Structure 1
Amino acid sequence: MGSVARSLREVLKDLKEWSKRQFGNMLKAIERLRSQLTDLQLAGADHAQVREKMNQLDELLYREEMLWLQRSRITWLKEDGVNDTAIVLIPKVPHLKDLKDYRPISLCNSAFIPGRLISDNSIIAFECIHHIQSVRNNATGLCAYKLDLSKAYDGVDWLFLEKALAKWGFSPIWIARVMACVSSVKYSAAREDGLSGVKISRGAPEKDLRAPPPHLLAWTFGVRFFPADAGGPPQRAAVPREATLWAPTWMRTPAKPSRAQPCINAVAGAFSENLPVICIVGGPNSNDYGSNRILHHTIGIPDFTQELRCFQNVTCYQAVVNNLEDAHEQIDTAISTALKESKPVYISISCNLPSIPHPTFSRHPVPFFLSPKLSNQMTLEAAVETAAAFLNKSVKPVLVGGPKMRVAKACEAFVELADACGYPVAAMPSAKGLVPEHHSRFIGTYWGAVSTPFCAEIVESADAYLFAGPIFNDYSSVGYSLLLKKEKAIIVQPDRVVIGNGPAFGCVLMKDFLHALGTRLKKNTAAYDNYSRIFVPQGEPLSSAPGEPLRVNVLFKHVQKMLSGNSAVIAETGDSWFNCQKLKLPEGCGYEFQMQYGSIGWSVGATLGYAQAAKDKRVISFIGDGSFQVTAQEVSTMLRWEQNNIIFLINNGGYTIEVEIHDGPYNIIKNWNYTGVVEAFHNGEGKCYTAKVRTEEELKKAIEASLGPNKDSLCFIEVIVHKDDTSKELLEWGSRVSAANSRPPNPQ
């Protein structure tokens, strides 16, 4: 064994020297190229020089990414080629009719490795068995297993294997690595035009989806092979491949040439919010591609890629399905990419394909195993150690939750950290609903100058603050006016941690970091003690006099009493942002608003989607009159699906938020009879309740009717208020954002 160890050390030394000669210092090379690229751009160099440097930089960044993937071990297995095996099918009979007429030979067999013989495997197996038999006192418990590949995979369910390893006490990291090895195997079969990929997946039982899968291999539709003697025509081995991850009924839905353009705005919003939306559209007839024809629902040119190019900027993957041979692969890849990246994907299917039967889509889909992302353990340990030292030496540290905690699935880990450290807990505005407001040390929303009272004072006076998943844009920073210092901050993103002005740690998952950090921090309640000393409870708005016009703050006083764990709040872009931020969410109450993309009219469609998905909650939405006019037709769909949402339409005669940012006549809109519009949608079909309120008394009656006799109905309450009735937060926020927008150009 000593000689083996010495040899391994020599090999490691040679590999390090080779890597240094071949690649040099990767980080220094990247920094050098970035500096050269900046110099070229500042000097106004021609496009070809800049492009050449950018290509070189892209290559180095790819090498760096591969380096981290290899260090993370488990993710590396998902890269193409790492866990692949090539197979050649050799005919066993003269006349080929089915796949069983071939003999598969794996090219990873020792016969295909230089310096090895095919007999090596047999000799090694014989020596192992001989050794076991020759040991008289087998105290070490030696044994041998003879495994057949297909039988092993047929007989063991992957989920069972994973749970069995966990039951036996194996480390979660080891389990994840084993499952990645199992699930990432790919066989490639030689055919006339190269290699045809075949991934190991699971065939679905025909009757009971919970029963163990009946067999292993799922081939791509049917793979064409040349016989070994090349004397006859190519034969097709028709082995059905079960679809994974997607419902075959989608392909049987009648489709028309694409009308996807109207939904691109919604897809862009989902991209900004890290939501895995699957956008499925009907494409041109497969025979029209390359025909130079002009079709309807296009911009009038024979180029059918214009829609695809539009979606490329707002989706992480695009699949154009215009033949059945690769339909399953494209669709599987699109959906798995959406789940892994938590971003929208675009799938276009030619309109003449859905009605065509195909063996691939003849069975039920089966679950697709996506190996979990894992932190690099060495980097994680270093990040936690550095962060703990940074926070433990501080006097008044605080925690602030951000919107990216959702995509990182780190909300529970954040709460665990808050419980362990004793710091006060705040939430950024776009993270409202992600941080539990019933937490004993929750101090409100941190939003700079428009924060919850006393929250900004505590956060900005702290000597250390940890932001989990933040997004600092002009809206969330109130026109870039936050009083934060970078050297005091720990910024935790879904897969990266930055401490002060450095260092930065990559390949560290947020939930792993927060969970581990909670075990290293000392209890420190100094900042929360300061908050307790200065906190003064807010009072309630005064009740209106009889017949007095309704005020917005009175409206939200009554809305607060409506909320429970069985409700969810949707806030439209505008003054509803600020009024809904003041609501205290009970445990279990949902909350959504779109701050990053800020699409006007977003909340109407969001109300429809949320209510359709969360059947156990009653959605309460707050929508401005201008926003409602953009997407009002979605109320018709709510009625069709018998939803019982409560919509408060705040009618103040225009786009109030835009007035505060940049006023002008374009912010004034034509007034509608909004309750009349909804009643027209209702048209006597289904359950619908509408009310138009101008006073507090009328508001109380409308709310009682919505929660009482009309609890199963769609309730639409139009609240008429004065055009200048806005929150003080909107006035402050609008003036600061307006100032940021009005900055003069820098001197050229």
Structure 2
Amino acid sequence: MSEIKIGDYLLERLAQLGTRTVQGVPGDFNMGLLDQIEDHAKLEWVGNANELNAAYSADGYARIKGTVAAVVTTFGVGELSALNGVAGAFSERVPVVHVVGVPSTGAQGSRSLLHHTLGDGRFDAFETMSRQVSAASAVLKRSEGAADEIDRVLTVAVRQARPVYIALPTDLVHAKISAKNLETPLDTAVPANEPDAEQYALDVAFRHIDEAENPVILVDACAIRHNCLQETRDLVEKSGLPVFSTPMGKTAIDEDHEQYGGLYIGSLTSNGVKEIVESADALILIGALKSDFNTGSFSYRTPKQKTIELHSDHAIVGYSHYPDVGMKGLLPKLTKKLEPRRQQRLDATRKRITRFENRLPQEDGDTISQAWLWPRLGQFFKPTDQIIVETGTSSFGMLEAKLPPSSHFVAQILWGSIGWSVGATLGVALAAREEKLGRTCLFVGDGSLQLTVQEIGTMIRQGLKPLLFVLNNDGYEIERQIHGPQRTYNDIAPYNHKLLLDFFSAPEDRTVPKDESHRKDPQPSAKRYHAVHSKAELDELLKSDELDNVQAIHLIEVFMKRGDAPAALKRQAQATSGSNKYE
């Protein structure tokens, strides 16, 4: 193959990076590319209900696949609808490739007054907006250099774990270019650290740890995002040190590991964990992302002079900063230096750590409480399950559940866009099917669900079988905890959730015959609705073969008391309310 169309070149590069699903919404400026996606041997097109949901879904897909995800929108109206989802991926360090079909180069050159424009001849306005939430942009304007531009931005997406933007004009989709670049895979490996700088930082970090009596490891989000999980787990295993995680780092370390002690969230932390972490005389932070909800409103009590921070592109030891010394290269060398004293440290760790377990509270009555729900769910999950939570009660509640080995905790804790979890569940389920992983389980409140509920229809059309747990507590409980518990702005119009799965399914007796011979979608799955009002009902359902050996999409509506909230949420809400200074 000596030549290839530009659109096909882009798709082949995505396939080489491991992407198998492309999502988005059709529009007249992107349909030429959509033809190529549907005709591509390695890619599947999944059309979404809207562009915002498509971006959310791409976010979820990338988190599970560990590679880039692609979302395709049309110029102007489509790309702006997706922008909130792309911004969330930028904030949370997720590599989403946003491909925008734009008007032809001729129309742009003549500043034509086209639909989907602002009516002032500016065709660069939307790309300018996207630059604020993109690590790199490529606005293709000619065939020459198109392959190099595509390669450049895709490499940035992988290396920086952030979204990139590609504008592809309608007349360039089928333009031919050389296919030679495709013979060489993209070099997405992190550049090696400068040897002398790395050695110096390594020696200083090792000395801090080796001389400490109570060193501790704290794992955070960027260990996951920057593909450093194996290096991090090797450090934990071979150092023998106690390890904890942050909310954004949950499940980076298996929670049944003998060295794992639980979550550290600053002042929101349980006393046992708090004492161990805050008394550490050497704290090794791996991939720290110190947002308010990730740190208990910035309430870490860990002295800087005793802290070693390892990031993707720099390291900090005490008050010394080492630029261009990334954790990917540094971690294996630090592990090797710490390994000789593993057994000594492991013996000490076993004495200090209280194992994190799912313990049900002793409560009177059969009402489903937040305190009971989350550890009970922790007992329900199995290895390789995907567990998606929404910003709100489920995000904080699931922190109190011990999750099984090789499971994935999927949450948008930093960006916190309401409704994100429903769209993300579609992407997670698609990726889990491709990777042959376990069940996909969503936990979303009745309020959050309403923003993105349409994507349940896409799940059904795709034959996916997620377990959708809808927590019905009559509105926006997280907002009520922060402010205005009796205000009407925290109320919602109640849905009849019993009808949702049927509503989003195509009737079997369609009155309009359709030729669907071109479709590659799987057959829609069967569907089940469950309403649970008591601990006994939920306990029985969680033990059932239906939810253990899932053969259909299930919507489980869990009725809970308004005003009840997880303990961590209550503490965080108090801190957030105080910082907002509404009173």
TM range (shorter): 0.7 to 0.9
SS in 2 for 1:245: helix
Give the conservation status (yes or no) of the 8 Å contact 1:689–1:713: yes
The separation in 2 between residues aligned to 1:453 and 1:395, in whole angstroms, is 20
Match of 1:575 in 2: 393
Give the conservation status (yes or no) of the 8 Å contact 1:401–1:467: yes
Larger radius of gyration: 1
CA distance 1:392–1:481, change in 2 (3 Å): same
Give the conservation status (yes or no) of the 8 Å contact 1:421–1:524: yes
Does 2:61 correspond to 1:280? Answer: no
Query: Out of 454, 458, 481, which is 1:637 matched to?
Result: 458
The worse-fitting range, judged by mean Cα deviation, of 397-406 and 322-331 is 322-331
SS in 2 for 1:644: coil
Match of 1:338 in 2: 157
Match of 1:253 in 2: 34
Match of 2:490 in 1: 667
1:717 CA drift (Å) = 0.8
Query: Out of 254, 279, 295, which is 1:477 matched to?
Result: 295
The separation in 2 between residues aligned to 1:367 and 1:298, in whole angstroms, is 37
Query: Out of 355, 361, 365, which is 1:541 matched to?
Result: 361
Structure 1, residues 623-649: CA drift from partner, whole Å, max 9, x if none? 111111111111111111111110101
Match of 1:414 in 2: 232
Query: Out of 405, 408, 431, which is 1:590 matched to?
Result: 408
Does 2:532 correspond to 1:693? Answer: yes
Query: Out of 470, 487, 504, which is 1:681 matched to?
Result: 504
- Paired residue type of 2:572: W
Does 2:87 correspond to 1:268? Answer: yes
Match of 2:562 in 1: 723
Give the conservation status (yes or no) of the 8 Å contact 1:395–1:526: no
1:368 CA drift (Å) = 2.9
Report which structure shows greater RCO (CA 8 Å, sep ≥6): 2
- Paired residue type of 1:413: E
Match of 2:210 in 1: 392
- Paired residue type of 2:462: W
The separation in 1 between residues aligned to 2:254 and 2:232, in whole angstroms, is 10
Query: Out of 645, 648, 663, which is 2:469 matched to?
Result: 648
The separation in 1 between residues aligned to 2:569 and 2:74, in whole angstroms, is 44
SS in 2 for 1:443: strand
- Paired residue type of 1:260: E
The separation in 1 between residues aligned to 2:473 and 2:411, in whole angstroms, is 20
Structure 1, residues 59-102: CA drift from partner, whole Å, max 9, x if none? xxxxxxxxxxxxxxxxxxxxxxxxxxxxxxxxxxxxxxxxxxxx
Structure 1, residues 593-626: CA drift from partner, whole Å, max 9, x if none? 1111111111111111011012122111111111
The separation in 1 between residues aligned to 2:256 and 2:559, in whole angstroms, is 33
Query: Out of 334, 340, 348, which is 1:517 matched to?
Result: 334
The separation in 2 between residues aligned to 1:575 and 1:253, in whole angstroms, is 38
Match of 1:712 in 2: 551
1:553 CA drift (Å) = 3.5
Return the TM-score normalized by structure 2: 0.79
Query: Out of 255, 258, 274, which is 1:437 matched to?
Result: 255
The worse-fitting range, judged by mean Cα deviation, of 387-396 and 367-376 is 367-376
1:511 CA drift (Å) = 2.9
Give the conservation status (yes or no) of the 8 Å contact 2:262–2:356: no
CA distance 1:560–1:509, change in 2 (3 Å): same
Structure 1, residues 659-688: CA drift from partner, whole Å, max 9, x if none? 222324322211111232232002445421
- Paired residue type of 1:584: K
Does 2:507 correspond to 1:507? Answer: no
Does 2:443 correspond to 1:622? Answer: yes
1:424 CA drift (Å) = 1.1
Does 2:166 correspond to 1:347? Answer: yes
How many aligned residue pairs are there?
506
Q: How does 1:482-493 map to 2 (within 5 A)?
A: 482-493=300-311
Give the conservation status (yes or no) of the 8 Å contact 2:155–2:187: no
Give the conservation status (yes or no) of the 8 Å contact 2:297–2:575: yes
CA distance 1:438–1:314, change in 2 (3 Å): same
- Paired residue type of 1:687: A
CA distance 1:645–1:631, change in 2 (3 Å): same
Give the conservation status (yes or no) of the 8 Å contact 1:611–1:619: yes
The separation in 1 between residues aligned to 2:411 and 2:423, in whole angstroms, is 12
Give the conservation status (yes or no) of the 8 Å contact 1:399–1:466: yes
The separation in 1 between residues aligned to 2:424 and 2:335, in whole angstroms, is 35
The worse-fitting range, judged by mean Cα deviation, of 286-295 and 490-499 is 286-295
The separation in 2 between residues aligned to 1:246 and 1:529, in whole angstroms, is 45
1:708 CA drift (Å) = 5.3
The separation in 2 between residues aligned to 1:393 and 1:443, in whole angstroms, is 22
- Paired residue type of 1:519: K
Give the conservation status (yes or no) of the 8 Å contact 2:256–2:356: no
SS in 2 for 1:520: helix
Give the conservation status (yes or no) of the 8 Å contact 2:528–2:555: yes
SS in 2 for 1:620: strand
Q: In percent, how many aligned pairs have the same letter? A: 28
Unaligned stretches of 5+ residues in structure 2: 17-21, 23-29, 36-72, 508-523
The separation in 2 between residues aligned to 1:527 and 1:724, in whole angstroms, is 42
- Paired residue type of 1:295: L
SS in 2 for 1:715: strand
1:732 CA drift (Å) = 0.9
Give the conservation status (yes or no) of the 8 Å contact 2:159–2:226: no
SS in 2 for 1:253: helix
Give the conservation status (yes or no) of the 8 Å contact 2:266–2:298: no
Q: How does 1:126-141 map to 2 (within 5 A)?
A: none
SS in 2 for 1:367: coil
1:420 CA drift (Å) = 2.8
- Paired residue type of 1:679: D
CA distance 1:440–1:260, change in 2 (3 Å): same
The separation in 2 between residues aligned to 1:414 and 1:468, in whole angstroms, is 8
The separation in 2 between residues aligned to 1:558 and 1:242, in whole angstroms, is 46
Match of 2:47 in 1: none
Give the conservation status (yes or no) of the 8 Å contact 1:391–1:464: yes
CA distance 1:310–1:423, change in 2 (3 Å): same
Unaligned stretches of 5+ residues in structure 1: 1-202, 205-217, 222-240
Give the conservation status (yes or no) of the 8 Å contact 2:359–2:375: no
SS in 2 for 1:480: coil
CA distance 1:586–1:300, change in 2 (3 Å): same
Return the TM-score normalized by structure 1: 0.63
Give the conservation status (yes or no) of the 8 Å contact 2:246–2:295: no
The worse-fitting range, judged by mean Cα deviation, of 708-717 and 504-513 is 708-717
- Paired residue type of 2:580: N
CA distance 1:673–1:538, change in 2 (3 Å): closer
The separation in 2 between residues aligned to 1:242 and 1:436, in whole angstroms, is 37
The separation in 2 between residues aligned to 1:537 and 1:677, in whole angstroms, is 35
SS in 1 for 2:285: strand
Give the conservation status (yes or no) of the 8 Å contact 2:309–2:316: yes
- Paired residue type of 1:540: L
The worse-fitting range, judged by mean Cα deviation, of 338-347 and 289-298 is 289-298
- Paired residue type of 1:643: L
- Paired residue type of 1:516: K
The separation in 2 between residues aligned to 1:219 and 1:535, in whole angstroms, is 56
The separation in 2 between residues aligned to 1:339 and 1:376, in whole angstroms, is 21
1:316 CA drift (Å) = 1.3
The separation in 2 between residues aligned to 1:614 and 1:737, in whole angstroms, is 35
The separation in 2 between residues aligned to 1:708 and 1:410, in whole angstroms, is 33
The separation in 1 between residues aligned to 2:374 and 2:350, in whole angstroms, is 30
